[in-house]
């Protein structure tokens, strides 16, 4: 008998929901069927108890997403749970609360990641979480009136954002307390090292960070609202490009395509899957190159060689993507049931170009390794700084290179296969270090694997003998029903979409699980107690994109 | 005229701003103390103006300012291949106090708008604005969003608009070249400027917060509104 207890509900052929319901006997009010998994309805004051039971007894250690939504008769929070060991084992907890009293217990005691997710739910939908450590607005200004994703929100009502609200809080305060080393620094929202419009309220004691409070929402462009008022078939697809805008567009589009395809039960031809896989991996290389380039920028200074090299390599790959999709950055290439168009003519010539760029790529990577990972100056800056232990990473819901840099072997391309990945020969890169170095190293090695995938896809496409079917038959108007949560491995980690369809041609609720949002949340753990210069390096190695954090 | 002058109507506001930018004589931005010191000597003044504008146009210090997707293309414009430095405009300055051109690359939302205005205010005169991308023109694909400001002109005056979503680096290079041309010629852009200003917000439901905010507003204070539907 092993010391470790077998998690409840785990059977060789999938999850046994009856056993889980038995484990939660007395808590489960009702059972619903979502398209990706079963959902248990629980009472709003049992949230923490149920979450901790599921985590401790049934090994649900990944709180992927908290979705909040409003119905005509109730509010609802949905906790999407997964396992890091096997993300196909999913369970949703549905927590309904009455309209006149939208109070629900917070899950923040069990999963740290719930802190921000619940703050967002409070901000946009208006559900209040009891016992939440820090329930205030996260994306919108403090002076905002109303909750924009609630049903009775009137968007035409003017909002007031006085300029004074954002005045320098330290202005006029010249009297420094008697030789104190503690001071408050605003880093951002306009700052070259914050990779966009992130605002870090930092308290430093000498050189050490005492307290850090990331203030986000400076790029909250209402992506969820935009998707909720657009039609499934054509109008939503351009928006995912603008979440993770670092040329990772096709990865994001795939997240939406996967969710919508499983919602509307659409098949994708194999040829289109190969095209998707190839273009998505080109996007991943582009995104990681920018991450490496700007990380070097943070470490070394302004516009140095590595940044220029990274941009040069990105240009090469962007040229390939432009030839394929017609755009450099906002590809809008995927469609429900396939892709927009096939390879550019002449096909053989295009594939030869891709092949030659990918053949050179290992040499290019060697150069990055010479300049970065084997460079002593770089090592001094990043080794053993910003250490993220695996358990903390799991509690914060970290995914992608951040989790893999902490030794968590979690990659949806392999664990929850989609596209053409399971036909190809590649490996998931992990590193046990957990520090800034590991995260950079994982990205560099992942690019190698991505190049490997692209090369194999090119071979498959070159040898393709059957019909080149790029789209399956999809009705002009898609009107699905049901609820689904589906995720793909985006450039920054698990990029998931929750859609509730109500039978019309637009989603009733469209919720984005942004990997960068969860990853950024770990900054507080990583930076507090460290030197402020290391905090900048840590932020760079987390590789956030504000378009995805704020949505 | 004080900068914070309030106007009763939008037309009036636009009128005064346009006069300040494109009215009689030379644009206030092209003036300087040194220039005034030359007094009434027309020959020197003309030569001096031409010289100064030539200098300004050929040595542009652009603010290192990234907001959203467009900033990725902006980085590509600065870097190899497109290399904005060829045109004497490729050294991004991290501090607004050292910059004279600001490229606004991305969607402005309610929370960021005042901050961007603050950055703009910190730049020394003469300063020029290039708005990059559809979002800075009208809100772009996010125009209908509850949180999105419908174009950067709600906040600061713009000299050059570069449309696109995002514009290609070539388009941005073209925009910067156009700005250089304009500065070298000492011209002002005939842009329609929509300054943000104190407006009635009487249709807001009265509640404690609104009352508190309304009580705190004084003449010198500016309030941003972005209910654009009435325009």
Tokens of A110: 């069990």
- Omega prior to A189 cis, within 30 of 0: yes
What residues of chain A lie within 8 A of the CB of B217, using their CB?
162
Please return the burial class of A349, using the count of CB atoms within 10 Å of its CB with bins 0-12, 13-18 and 19+: exposed
Surface of B (2-61) touching A: CB under 8 A: none
Burial status of residue A376 (CB atoms within 10 A of its CB: 0-12, 13-18, 19 or more): exposed
CB of B191 within 8 A of CB of B159?
yes
A219 in reach of chain B (CB within 8 A): yes
CB atoms within 10 A of CB A534: 22
Domain A248-480 class?
Answer: mainly alpha
Report chain A residues whose CB lies below 8 A from the CB of B146.
148, 153, 155, 222, 225
Domains of chain A, by residue range, sit at 10-130, 248-480
A477–B contact, CB cutoff 8 A: no
- B220 vs A: CB within 8 A: no
- Residue partners of A234: CB distance under 8 A and separation at least 6: none
Q: How many CB atoms lie within 10 A of CB B228?
A: 17
Separation CA B187–CA A373 (nearest Å): 51
Q: Which residues of A touch B224 (CB under 8 A)?
A: 160-163
Domain boundaries, chain B: 10-184
Q: What ipTM was estimated for this complex?
A: 0.86
Q: Residue A141 and residue B116: Cβ atoms within 8 Å? A: no
- Tell me which residue of B67, B95, B38, B78 sits closest to B176, measured CA to CA: B78
Mutation target to probe the B interface, by most B beta carbons within 10 A, among A189, A218, A297, A328 is: A218
Q: Which of A143, A156, A158 is opposite residue B201, by nearest beta carbon?
A: A158
Give the tens place of pLDDT for each residue, B9-60. 545 544 554 454 444 444 567 766 767 776 666 666 667 778 888 888 888 8
Query: Who's near A476: CB < 8 A, 6+ residues apart?
Result: A233
pLDDT in tens, chain A (551 residues): 445 567 877 777 778 888 888 888 888 888 888 888 889 999 998 899 999 999 888 889 999 999 999 998 999 999 999 999 888 889 999 999 998 888 999 988 899 999 999 999 999 998 999 888 888 888 888 888 888 888 888 877 777 676 665 565 556 655 556 666 788 888 878 887 777 888 888 888 888 888 898 989 888 998 999 999 999 988 899 999 988 888 788 999 999 999 999 998 899 999 999 999 999 999 999 999 999 988 888 887 656 788 888 999 999 999 999 999 988 888 999 999 899 988 988 889 999 999 999 999 999 999 889 888 888 888 888 888 888 999 999 999 999 999 999 999 999 999 888 889 988 999 999 998 889 999 999 999 999 999 999 999 999 999 988 888 888 888 888 888 889 999 999 999 999 999 999 889 899 999 999 999 999 999 988 888 889 888 888 998 988 888 889 88
Q: What is the topology classification, in CATH, of domain A10-130?
A: Beta Polymerase; domain 2 (3.30.460)
Residue A134 token pair: 């820090």
DSSP state of B106: S
The count of C-alpha atoms lying within 13 angstroms of the C-alpha of A504, restricted to the half-sphere facing its C-beta, is 10
C-alpha closest to that of B92 among A409, A464, A211, A192? A192
**A312 within 8 A of A345, measured Cβ to Cβ:** no
Contacts with A226 from chain B: Cβ below 8 Å: 141-142, 144-145
CATH architecture group of domain B10-184: 3-Layer(aba) Sandwich (3.40)
The answer to whether B145 contacts A156, with C-beta atoms less than 8 Å apart, is: no
Which pLDDT score is estimated for A2?
Answer: 47
Residue B46 burial by Cβ neighbours in a 10 Å radius (0-12, 13-18, 19+): exposed
For residues A214 and A524, give the distance between their C-alpha atoms in angstroms, rounded to a whole number. 8
B91-114: pLDDT as tens digits:
788 888 888 899 999 898 888 888
Cα A403 to Cα A416: distance, rounded to the nearest angstrom: 16
Mutate to test the interface with A, among B63, B69, B218 (most CBs of A within 10 A): B69
Q: Which chain A residues have a beta carbon less than 8 Å from that of B205? A: 145, 157
The answer to whether residue B113 neighbours chain A at the CB level (below 8 Å) is: yes
Probe site for chain B from A190, A239, A301, A315 (most B CB atoms < 10 A): A190
Answer whether A225 touches B (CB < 8 Å): yes
CB A219 within 8 A of CB A197: yes
Give B 148-177 residues with CB within 8 A of chain A.
148, 165-166, 168
DSSP string, A283-310: HHHHHHHHHHHHHHHHHH-SS-HHHHHH
Cβ of B213 within 8 Å of Cβ of A246? The answer is: no
The verdict on whether omega for the bond into residue B55 sits within 30 degrees of 0, i.e. cis, is no
Question: Which of B136, B121, B114, B137 has its CA nearest to residue B225?
Answer: B114
User: Are A196 and B221 within 8 A, CB to CB?
Assistant: no
Note whether B118 contacts A239, CB cutoff 8 Å: no
Residue of B nearest to A160 (CA): B225
> Could you give the residue ranges of the DSSP H alpha helices within A177-269?
223-228, 249-264
Which residues of chain A have a CB within 8 Å of the CB of B165? 330
Size of interface A-B (CB pairs under 8 A): 169
Minimum Cα–Cα distance from B170: chain A residue: A328
| Nearest-Cα residue of chain A relative to residue B227 | A158
């Amino acid at each position: 008998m092993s010391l470790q207890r077998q998690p409840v509900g785990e059977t060789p052929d999938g999850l046994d929901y009856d056993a889980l319901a038995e484990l939660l006997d007395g808590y489960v009010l009702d059972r619903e069927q979502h398209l990706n998994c079963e959902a248990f309805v629980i009472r709003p004051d049992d949230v923490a108890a149920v979450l901790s039971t599921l985590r401790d007894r049934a090994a649900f250690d990944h709180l992927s997403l908290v979705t909040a939504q409003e119905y005509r008769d109730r509010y609802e929070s949905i906790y999407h749970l997964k396992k890091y060991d096997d993300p196909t084992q999913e369970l949703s907890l549905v927590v309904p609360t009455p309209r006149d009293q939208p109070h629900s217990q917070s899950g923040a005691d069990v999963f740290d990641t719930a802190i921000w997710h619940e703050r967002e739910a409070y901000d946009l939908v208006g559900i209040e979480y009891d016992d939440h450590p820090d329930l205030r607005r996260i994306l919108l200004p403090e002076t905002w009136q109303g909750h924009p994703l609630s049903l009775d929100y009137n968007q035409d009502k003017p909002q007031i954002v006085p300029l004074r609200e954002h005045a320098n809080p330290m202005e006029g305060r010249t009297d420094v307390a008697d030789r104190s080393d503690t001071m408050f620094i605003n880093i951002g929202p306009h700052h070259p090292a914050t990779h966009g419009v992130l605002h870090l309220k930092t308290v430093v004691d000498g050189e050490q960070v005492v307290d850090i409070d990331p203030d986000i929402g400076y790029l909250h462009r209402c992506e969820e609202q935009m998707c909720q008022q657009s039609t499934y078939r054509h109008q939503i697809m351009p928006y995912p490009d603008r979440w993770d805008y670092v040329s990772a567009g096709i990865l994001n589009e795939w997240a939406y395509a996967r969710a919508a395809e499983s919602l509307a039960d659409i098949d994708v031809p194999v040829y289109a899957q190969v095209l998707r896989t190839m273009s998505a991996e080109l996007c991943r290389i582009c995104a990681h190159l920018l991450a490496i380039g700007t990380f070097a920028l943070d470490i070394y200074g302004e516009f140095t060689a590595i940044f220029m090299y990274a941009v040069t390599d990105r240009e090469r790959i962007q040229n390939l993507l432009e030839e394929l999709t017609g755009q450099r950055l906002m590809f809008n290439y995927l469609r429900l049931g396939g892709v927009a168009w096939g390879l550019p003519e002449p096909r053989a010539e295009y594939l030869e170009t891709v092949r030659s760029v990918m053949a050179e790529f290992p040499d290019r990577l060697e150069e990055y390794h010479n300049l970065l990972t084997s460079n002593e100056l770089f090592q001094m800056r990043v080794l053993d700084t910003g250490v993220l232990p695996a358990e903390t990473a799991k509690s914060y819901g970290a995914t992608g290179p951040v989790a893999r840099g902490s030794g968590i072997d979690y990659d949806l391309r392999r664990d929850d296969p989609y596209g053409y990945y399971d036909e190809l020969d590649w490996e998931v890169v992990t590193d046990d270090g957990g520090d800034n170095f590991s995260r950079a190293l994982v990205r560099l090695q992942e690019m190698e694997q991505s190049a490997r995938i692209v090369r194999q896809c090119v071979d498959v496409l070159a040898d393709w003998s059957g019909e080149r079917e790029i789209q399956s038959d999809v009705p002009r108007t898609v009107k699905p029903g049901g609820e689904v949560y589906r995720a793909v491995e985006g450039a920054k980690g698990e990029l998931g979409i929750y859609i509730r369809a109500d039978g019309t041609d637009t989603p009733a609720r469209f919720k984005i699980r942004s990997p960068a949002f969860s990853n950024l949340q770990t900054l507080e753990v990583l930076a507090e107690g460290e030197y402020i210069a290391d905090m900048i390096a840590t932020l760079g190695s987390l590789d956030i994109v504000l378009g995805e954090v704020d949505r | 005229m004080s900068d914070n002058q309030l106007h009763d109507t939008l037309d009036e506001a636009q009128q005064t701003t346009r006069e300040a930018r494109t009215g009689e004589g030379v644009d206030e931005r092209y003036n300087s103390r040194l220039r005034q010191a030359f007094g009434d000597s027309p020959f020197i003044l003309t030569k001096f103006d031409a010289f100064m504008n030539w200098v300004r146009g050929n040595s542009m210090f652009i603010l290192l300012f990234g907001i959203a997707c467009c900033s990725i293309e902006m980085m590509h414009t600065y870097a190899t291949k497109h290399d904005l430095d060829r045109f004497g405009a490729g050294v991004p300055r991290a501090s607004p106090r050292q910059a004279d051109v600001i490229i606004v690359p991305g969607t402005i939302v309610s929370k960021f708008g005042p901050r961007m205005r603050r950055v703009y205010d910190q730049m020394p005169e003469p300063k020029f604005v290039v708005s990059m991308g559809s979002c800075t023109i009208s809100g772009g694909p996010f125009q209908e969003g509850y949180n999105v400001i419908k174009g950067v002109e709600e906040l600061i005056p713009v000299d050059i608009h570069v449309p696109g979503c995002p514009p290609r680096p070539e388009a941005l290079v073209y925009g910067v070249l156009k700005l250089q041309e304009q500065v070298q010629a000492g011209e002002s852009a005939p842009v329609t400027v929509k300054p943000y200003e104190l407006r009635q917000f009487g249709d807001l439901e009265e509640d404690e917060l609104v009352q508190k905010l309304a009580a705190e507003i004084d003449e010198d204070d500016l309030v941003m509104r972005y209910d654009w539907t009435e325009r």
